[in-house]
Structure 1
Amino acid sequence: MTTFILDVLKDLQNRNKDLSSLIFVLPSKRAGTFLKHQISQIVDQTILAPKIISIETFVEDLSQLKKTSNTELLFVFYNVYLELTDKDNQEPFDSFSKWAQILLQDFNEIDRYLIPQEKIFNYLSAIQDLKHWSTEENKTDFVKRYLLFWNKINLYYTQFVEQLLELKTGYQGLIYREAVENLESYIQNNSKTQHVFLGFNALNSAEGIIIQELLQNDLAEVFWDIDQNFFNNLNHDAGLFTRQHHKNWKYYKNNAFNWKSNHYKKEKNIEVFGIPKNIGQAKFIGTLLKEIKEKKNNLEQTAVVLADENLLTPTLNALPKSIDALNITMGLPLQYIPLSSLFDQLFNLHKKASNTFYYKDVIAIISHQFIRPLFNDNNVDVASKITSTILSNNIVYLTVERLKALSGASENIIDTLFVMKQNNVKNLLENCSQLILTIKTELDKNKASNKLSLEYLYRFNELFNELTRLNTEYYYIQDIKTLHSVYKELLSNATLDFQGEPLQGLQVMGMLESRVLDFETVIISSVNEGILPSGKTNNSFIPFDLKLEYGLPTYKEKDAVYTYHFYRLIQRAKNVYILYNTEADVLTGGEKSRFITQLELEQIHPIKHKIVTPKVNVFNNALIQIKKTDAILNEIKKIGVKGFSPSSLSNYIRNPIDFYYQKVLGIKEQEDVEESIAFNTLGTVVHNTLEDLYLDFIGQFLTIDALNNLKPKINKTVSHHFKNEYKEGDITKGKNLIIFEIAKRFVLNFIDLEINDLKEGNKIKIIALEEKNDALLTIPEIDFPIKLTGKVDRIDSYNGTTRIIDYKTGKVSQNQVEIANWEDLLTDYKKHSKSFQVLMYAYMMHQEHKTTLPIEAGIISFKNLNAGFLKFAEKEGKNKKVLISEETLLNFEIELKKLILEIYNPEINFVEKEL
């Protein structure tokens, strides 16, 4: 396959140029590796390799400045800001950094395009004055400060640049401006050095001047890579910049323009695939690569170009196992590495500046994959032990002392993670560095299997060393919030670089890494509006019309840059696969890129357009069925021997599969901390409180005075039971305090209900409280007796009639304890579950000869206390029978036996019910 680089080298060779003496200047370092490789292919004798550098390195050499990090620039700029701003008007570093980032970008653009700084800043200041408040006679202090800021921008810039030049460092724009200043001296000192610029497209003003000056002095050649089709079409953005260079550069009035090639119109296979979601694209890339590998047996001339670099990790996971050689030219951002989440959690934890820690934050940190092993003490998983204690004791907030007590021998790691001293910024940095060393010690125990984790750790160690240096040198990080902000800024620009085979096998790269390179097969992902091209983003203080006035790039020029890269990628390719996301993802995705539409409208190549949907396994939505094996039947037998409770049988009626999970398999509901008191906890507290208060009345008639004497005890008794049930949960504030007061109100209202009953002349005698019942049920079809067990909340005598009472803290109405058709008892759970429970209590009491028929059974609903005792009733036409007789219990027994027989019938599976 003919490539642009190979064409350039052959041209130079044909003109007998000494390659060793040339300086090749390329858009990126990546292209240099391919250039060096292709030089070795065309020369037939040993030569010294030429100097091959990127344009940024070349400009740095010209300027004699070193590029510094964006974070370092912010600190230097803040230093200038403090010197030039009155103390009363100074902003803290955290808020300063937000607008300073944008201003630094504008400084960069202004310098790259060699705009007279004072002129554009004065213009900008005048616009702000005119746009907002110039018509107001009496400006407020805020307005005056605002306008003063804009008037000072030129001063900020001047002082900032002076400090950077003293430090021999700079941002990209300043380096370019200084390079232009030093260009004449460079030309004089290198009058015999030949430069070859190849593969450039969009150039800023500084780059344009540098290259033109070298051309005019016969010290350079430029090789453009533009197709005739794009160059000649005045409406095609791919040729926008090369047309401008050809028209505006004086050099081309008398010299040839190299080169306008003619590769784009050659036959190509272009396929466009619309795929839902990013993961879908990643998986489809894997499928395409597998097919290509099977056809060609290698992927030497294949590139995967990720327009959205967030797709790197899922794409790597989707690559087929048959790929044996791979080169990734884009780094994996550190912010996507699991270790970054740990430090984020630590920063968020300590930003709150509290002596106690929220349990979820604690569990998240001690359960982290890099932290959990540090808590192992003699093969005891201490992290699990701490988590279990938090959940079982309902601890919402923990102190350091409590954590140390729970961790045992792991006190040191608790100090590192949770203890902050007075200078908390310095202390947190020290703790993070110490934590990294502690994790390293643990990982070193099994170095062979932890190589990647150790590499992660090394990069984070570098990052925290840089944070410590910045904090020591500048003293501007005053709190954890600011430290976190600086950490995220450093993290966003840090990557973990891959080592691969740079010239072999599959190439995975971002759009910018593809400059100058050519591949036979190209797969381009995320070709969506807002990604390729990136759209009308305007992160700048300089208005659009002012940018036009001074020739600064706008979204139009940025779109043209993307257009060139896209079309240059497919210019020489034979097979092109274009993928786009069909689904809307936040602000991107869903709309295919204009580049795809443009390809279709050009009608130069036939475009095959397909919508790809992922293969989705057909799931059988049939209800779950569990066959009763001998082992399951044996477990059910154990349950029967131990005892069926009313709630367990009601659970079976509601959904047999839940009964199977909970009773047969013994799967319990997941335990969690109750931040707000759960409804079942409230119910338990109310039940236990009433039992305590009424305990002394067993065997006695209630009196009004005795009940009134219970009222002062309510607060203490409810508090006691909340402490037992809610453990260390806080009931002194918020929603929990409201629930605590509700519990007291429930108990008080119940006592008042009893007092009103007595005032009306009714006689109430307490027979039993929380009465445990065990009864045996003999069924001929089952060869062992079935045990029934349950605890009745209260048994009393009401005007001589025995009542079995079940307390419910939820709302229950009268129709929920009535039945018209006995067969409905086992089929309609929602309507008859309450009836089933009270009837079973009545049945067990009668079987144990604890009651004499007829009796009443029913519910007292604390949310429906006005309704009083809700009696079970058997409907007979328009009449209701509330007394439970022998006949009632016989009818219930028939249904109960049916239910038990169904549970034990090996032919009847546990079948899930649609709820």
Structure 2
Amino acid sequence: MTTFILEVLQDLKKNQTNLSEVTFVLPSKRAGVFLKHQLPEVLDATLFAPRIISIEEFVEEMAQLKSISNTELLFEFYNSYLEISKGDEIDTFETFSKWAQILLQDFNEIDRYLIPQEHIFEYLAAIEDLKHWSLEEPKTEFVKNYLAFWNKLFDYYKHFTKHLIKNNWGYQGLIYREAAAQVKTYIQNNNKTQHVFLGFNALNTAEEIIIQDLLDHGLAKIYWDIDKVFFENKLHDAALFTRQHKTNWNYFNTNPFQWITNNYTDSKNISVYGIPKNIGQAKYIGTILKDLQKENNHLENTAVVLGDENLLIPVLNSIPNSIKALNITMGFPLKSIPLASLFEDLFRLHKTSSKSFYFKDLTKIISHQFIRPLFLLDDTDYATKLIETIDSNNLVYLSVSRLKQIAEPASEVIEFLFSNWNTSINQALNNCTKLILAIKACLNANTEADKLALEYLFRFNELFNELISLNDTHKHIKDVSTLHSIYNELLSSESLDFQGEPLEGLQVMGMLESRVLDFETVIISSVNEGVLPSGKSNNSFIPYDVKLENKLPTYKEKDAVYTYHFYRLLKRAKNVYILYNTEADVLTAGEKSRFITQLELEDIHNIQQHIIAPQVPIIEQKLKVIKKTPELCADLTKLAGQGFSPSSLTNYMRNPIDFYYQKILKIKDHNDVEETVAANTLGTVVHNTLEDFYKPLENAFITIDIINALKSKIEERVSHHFKEEYKEGDITKGKNLIISEIAKRYVLNFLDLEINSLKAGNKIKIVAIEADNDVLVNIPELDFPVRLRGKVDRVDECNGVMRIIDYKTGKVEQNQVQVEGWEDLTTDYKKYSKSFQVLTYAYMMQQSGALTLPLEAGIISFKNLSSGFLKFSKKELGSRTKNTLISEETIEAFEAELKTLIIEICDPNTDFTEKEL
């Protein structure tokens, strides 16, 4: 394949141009690398390499101004703003930066296109004046200030540009304007230097003047790269600018227009793939590359061009491991590396000045992969200790002093992570620098992973050094919020360069980096409306009609630029793969680009259309089954000897797999911080409070006076048990305050229930509170002992009838403590688990000899106290009568079901099988 660069070099050789004396000016530095590589193909003898520079370097040299970063420009512009603005009108730097960024872009455009500055700024002020009814009086203070802002734009511009030029600085537009003004001087000083401009398309006014002046003085040649198909079609935007140049430049009235080529109509294999989502595109690029590698092992002359550069990471992860030669022209964005997330979390934490920090924000930072090693001191992991203490003590908000108290040896790390960020900006920046140095000290430069981490740290150290320098010079950053904003501005423009051989193997690049370059095989991703081209967007203070009048570029010209780049990639390519997203996304509607539609309508090439559906394997949902091995059976034997509790048996009924995890593997639920008091904590507080009240009353009859006396202790006992269970969690405000009041109300309502019962003439004797039970169950089918263990909340005697009472803070209805068929008792957890529990308590107390039959067993539900004591009952089939007394017959029937359940749990041939919940 003959590339455009090679064609230019061949033409220069044909015209006997001395290449050593030529200055090549290209749209990008990258194109210069390829030009230098292809020079030997046209040389017959050794010579000194020609000068090869980008257009930006060329105009900087001509203007004698140095380009400075956008962030530096922002600080310098704020200096001008402060000098011109009055005290009451001055915005903070953070507010200023939001509108100044847009204004700087407008300054840039106005200068690049050499628009008379005073004229356009006066025009904009007049438009705003009209919008706000300039003749209407009186004007509000807000409108006056608003119009004053527009009237000062030219003053801002003059002061700012004068200051920059005085210091030999400039932004791109100012450099172009100065270069255009200095072109005559440049020509006088370089009247023997030949310039070759190649691969340009859309030129701003300054570039046009510079190039035309050099052409008119015989000091330059210019080579365009446009195809006949586009050039002769006056509606085709790919040639919009080249047609204008040929028509408007006087130079082409007497000189040939080089070149209009005829490559586009050559035979090409063009395939268009509609693929769901961006990740789908990235994965399919990997598939295409894998197939291409079978044909061309090194993938020479193959490029992956990313319409959306956010696809870089997914695409890199999708490239087959077999591809060794790879060059990535885009840098890896610093904002995408793990260290960026750490500083983002730190800035978010400190943006609001507070003496205490939210536990989730703290644990996120402490758990970060770069921070965790800093807390490993003297073989103790203080990060784990901090997190466990936070969890176990329900610490929702923590101060720095509390953190140091928990992990005192790590005080230095805690200090620069969490202390004094709001003291001063210098302190915040110093903390960031200390953090970087501390992380560096923990890394091992001999491991590959740590080498990469050191590279990350180096780049972030540079970034914070720049912030320190800017802050020391300008003193505009007043708070952490502003610092965060400037940090993000710097971060978004920084990248980590990839190492690679720029001229070998697969090339991965963005659309603009493909300028002047040609490839045989091209894969273009994200060819969707809103991406390629980007469509209408107006991040400018200059209205559309004003741009038209002043010949400033609008979205139409921007679209034409991308049209040119898209079609230029196709011109000399033989194999083209075009991918677009078929699904509606945040920025796109899943609509394929007009470029694809245009390709189809041209009817020049045969376009292969494909819709790719991702291969989604059908994953059959299988219930987990745990085989009972001899070791597992031994664990069950041991567990049976220690004793099954009623809750563990109902847990098995609910789901055998949960029973296996909790009782055999001993896996406990993680004890997370309870920001809001959990239901089980509320239940424990109520249970423990009632135990405190009734334990001293065992073996005694209760009276109304006794119960009334307990009411005065509710506040103290409930608060005490909240402190015991909820640890350092705060119950003095919010939902927790409401829940603590609910706990007090539950206890009070229960005591009132007791008083009403006594007033009704009932005689109640407390027999036992939190009664321990441990009984042996005789199961002949099992050759090992089986025990039942459990605590009964309350046993009392009401009017001569023994009652076993289980407290529930949740809501329980009467139908949940009654059964019809005994065989259903162990099969339906939701319906019969409450009945099973109270019957188990009755069975254990009867077996231990603590109580004699008949008796009653049931539940008192604190959310259903009006129903009183919900007695277990056996409803006879076909009858409305319910038997609430638990007799020998009841116990025998229950025992049969209980033994069947325990035999099933211990049976070596019955696996633990998950239930569908």
Aligned to 2:700, the other structure's residue is in SS state coil
2:96 maps to: 96
Measured after TM superposition, the shift of residue 891 of structure 1 is: 1.0
State the alpha-carbon separation in 1 of the partners of residues 819 and 211 from structure 2. Answer: 96
Measured after TM superposition, the shift of residue 68 of structure 1 is: 0.8
Aligned to 2:875, the other structure's residue is in SS state strand
State the alpha-carbon separation in 1 of the partners of residues 40 and 589 from structure 2. Answer: 43
1:221-257 alpha-carbon deviations (Å, 9 max, x no partner): 1100011111111111111111111111111112111
State the alpha-carbon separation in 1 of the partners of residues 305 and 582 from structure 2. Answer: 18
Aligned to 2:712, the other structure's residue is in SS state helix
1:389 maps to: 389
2:419 maps to: 419
From the superposition, tell whether residues 314 and 421 of structure 1 become closer, same or farther in structure 2 (CA, over 3 Å): closer
Q: Which amino acid aligns with 2:477?
A: I
Measured after TM superposition, the shift of residue 287 of structure 1 is: 1.6
Q: Which amino acid aligns with 2:556?
A: K
Measured after TM superposition, the shift of residue 445 of structure 1 is: 5.9
2:341 maps to: 341
1:605-639 alpha-carbon deviations (Å, 9 max, x no partner): 11111122233333121222222222222222222
State the alpha-carbon separation in 2 of the partners of residues 870 and 446 from structure 1. Answer: 71
Q: Which amino acid aligns with 1:827?
A: T
State the alpha-carbon separation in 2 of the partners of residues 274 and 642 from structure 1. Answer: 63
1:814-867 alpha-carbon deviations (Å, 9 max, x no partner): 111111111221222111111111111111111101111111111111111111
Conserved 8 A contact 1:429-1:468: yes
State the alpha-carbon separation in 1 of the partners of residues 91 and 295 from structure 2. Answer: 63
Measured after TM superposition, the shift of residue 533 of structure 1 is: 0.9
State the alpha-carbon separation in 2 of the partners of residues 761 and 418 from structure 1. Answer: 64
State the alpha-carbon separation in 1 of the partners of residues 303 and 48 from structure 2. Answer: 30
1:288 maps to: 288
2:885 maps to: 883
1:497-516 alpha-carbon deviations (Å, 9 max, x no partner): 11210111111111111000
1:658 maps to: 658
State the alpha-carbon separation in 2 of the partners of residues 587 and 806 from structure 1. Answer: 58
**Equivalent residue runs for 1:579-598 within 5 Å:** 579-588=579-588, 590-598=590-598
1:715-749 alpha-carbon deviations (Å, 9 max, x no partner): 11111111111111111111111111111111011
Measured after TM superposition, the shift of residue 573 of structure 1 is: 0.5
1:12 maps to: 12
Measured after TM superposition, the shift of residue 908 of structure 1 is: 2.1
Q: Which amino acid aligns with 2:588?
A: T
Conserved 8 A contact 1:226-1:239: yes
Please tell me whether residue 163 in structure 1 is matched to residue 158 in structure 2.
no
1:319 maps to: 319
Q: Which amino acid aligns with 2:355?
A: N
State the alpha-carbon separation in 1 of the partners of residues 472 and 444 from structure 2. Answer: 30
State the alpha-carbon separation in 1 of the partners of residues 852 and 157 from structure 2. Answer: 98
Measured after TM superposition, the shift of residue 134 of structure 1 is: 2.5
2:908 maps to: 906
2:530 maps to: 530
Measured after TM superposition, the shift of residue 213 of structure 1 is: 1.1
Moved more, 501-510 or 268-277: 268-277
1:343-363 alpha-carbon deviations (Å, 9 max, x no partner): 111111111211112111111
State the alpha-carbon separation in 2 of the partners of residues 324 and 18 from structure 1. Answer: 39
**Equivalent residue runs for 1:59-208 within 5 Å:** 59-208=59-208
2:299 maps to: 299
State the alpha-carbon separation in 2 of the partners of residues 703 and 24 from structure 1. Answer: 106
1:299-322 alpha-carbon deviations (Å, 9 max, x no partner): 111111111111111211221111
Moved more, 567-576 or 312-321: 312-321
1:868 maps to: 868
State the alpha-carbon separation in 2 of the partners of residues 431 and 116 from structure 1. Answer: 47
Please tell me whether residue 718 in structure 1 is matched to residue 744 in structure 2.
no
From the superposition, tell whether residues 471 and 224 of structure 1 become closer, same or farther in structure 2 (CA, over 3 Å): same
Please tell me whether residue 894 in structure 1 is matched to residue 896 in structure 2.
yes
Measured after TM superposition, the shift of residue 596 of structure 1 is: 1.3
Measured after TM superposition, the shift of residue 160 of structure 1 is: 0.8
1:752 maps to: 752
Q: Which amino acid aligns with 2:90?
A: Q
1:471-510 alpha-carbon deviations (Å, 9 max, x no partner): 1111110000000000000000001111210111111111
1:66-100 alpha-carbon deviations (Å, 9 max, x no partner): 11111111111111111111101111111111011
State the alpha-carbon separation in 1 of the partners of residues 869 and 399 from structure 2. Answer: 47
Measured after TM superposition, the shift of residue 702 of structure 1 is: 0.8
State the alpha-carbon separation in 2 of the partners of residues 553 and 897 from structure 1. Answer: 86
Please tell me whether residue 623 in structure 1 is matched to residue 623 in structure 2.
yes
Aligned to 1:522, the other structure's residue is in SS state strand
2:683 maps to: 683
Aligned to 2:202, the other structure's residue is in SS state coil
State the alpha-carbon separation in 2 of the partners of residues 256 and 372 from structure 1. Answer: 68
State the alpha-carbon separation in 2 of the partners of residues 352 and 475 from structure 1. Answer: 21
Any unmatched runs of 5+ in structure 2? none
Moved more, 654-663 or 261-270: 654-663
2:49 maps to: 49
Measured after TM superposition, the shift of residue 118 of structure 1 is: 0.9
1:373-432 alpha-carbon deviations (Å, 9 max, x no partner): 111113322211211111111111112122122223222111111110663311010011
1:153-183 alpha-carbon deviations (Å, 9 max, x no partner): 1111111111111121111111111111111
**Equivalent residue runs for 1:322-401 within 5 Å:** 322-401=322-401
Conserved 8 A contact 1:133-1:143: no
1:523-581 alpha-carbon deviations (Å, 9 max, x no partner): 11111111111121111111111111111111111111111111111110001111112
Conserved 8 A contact 1:778-1:784: no
Moved more, 426-435 or 895-904: 895-904
Measured after TM superposition, the shift of residue 149 of structure 1 is: 0.6
Runs of 4+ in 1 over 6 A off after TM superposition: none
State the alpha-carbon separation in 1 of the partners of residues 722 and 514 from structure 2. Answer: 66
1:787-816 alpha-carbon deviations (Å, 9 max, x no partner): 111111111111111111111111111111
Aligned to 1:133, the other structure's residue is in SS state coil
State the alpha-carbon separation in 1 of the partners of residues 898 and 754 from structure 2. Answer: 34
Moved more, 887-896 or 478-487: 887-896
State the alpha-carbon separation in 1 of the partners of residues 201 and 759 from structure 2. Answer: 98
1:696 maps to: 696
Measured after TM superposition, the shift of residue 448 of structure 1 is: 5.0
Q: Percent identity?
A: 66
State the alpha-carbon separation in 2 of the partners of residues 430 and 223 from structure 1. Answer: 53
1:224 maps to: 224
Please tell me whether residue 859 in structure 1 is matched to residue 856 in structure 2.
no
2:58 maps to: 58
State the alpha-carbon separation in 2 of the partners of residues 85 and 163 from structure 1. Answer: 16
Measured after TM superposition, the shift of residue 670 of structure 1 is: 2.3
Conserved 8 A contact 1:133-1:139: no
State the alpha-carbon separation in 2 of the partners of residues 641 and 534 from structure 1. Answer: 72
State the alpha-carbon separation in 1 of the partners of residues 747 and 560 from structure 2. Answer: 76
Moved more, 469-478 or 317-326: 317-326
Q: Which amino acid aligns with 1:67?
A: S
Q: Which amino acid aligns with 1:249?
A: W
State the alpha-carbon separation in 1 of the partners of residues 914 and 582 from structure 2. Answer: 37
Measured after TM superposition, the shift of residue 449 of structure 1 is: 4.2
State the alpha-carbon separation in 2 of the partners of residues 794 and 711 from structure 1. Answer: 19
From the superposition, tell whether residues 908 and 448 of structure 1 become closer, same or farther in structure 2 (CA, over 3 Å): closer
**Equivalent residue runs for 1:830-845 within 5 Å:** 830-845=830-845
State the alpha-carbon separation in 1 of the partners of residues 592 and 779 from structure 2. Answer: 70
From the superposition, tell whether residues 94 and 224 of structure 1 become closer, same or farther in structure 2 (CA, over 3 Å): same
State the alpha-carbon separation in 1 of the partners of residues 653 and 633 from structure 2. Answer: 18
Conserved 8 A contact 1:763-1:799: yes
Conserved 8 A contact 2:421-2:431: no
Moved more, 678-687 or 317-326: 317-326
Any unmatched runs of 5+ in structure 1? none
TM-score (norm 2): 0.98
Q: CA RMSD of the aligned region, Å?
A: 1.2
Measured after TM superposition, the shift of residue 41 of structure 1 is: 2.4
State the alpha-carbon separation in 2 of the partners of residues 40 and 396 from structure 1. Answer: 69
Q: Which amino acid aligns with 1:110?
A: I
From the superposition, tell whether residues 421 and 274 of structure 1 become closer, same or farther in structure 2 (CA, over 3 Å): closer
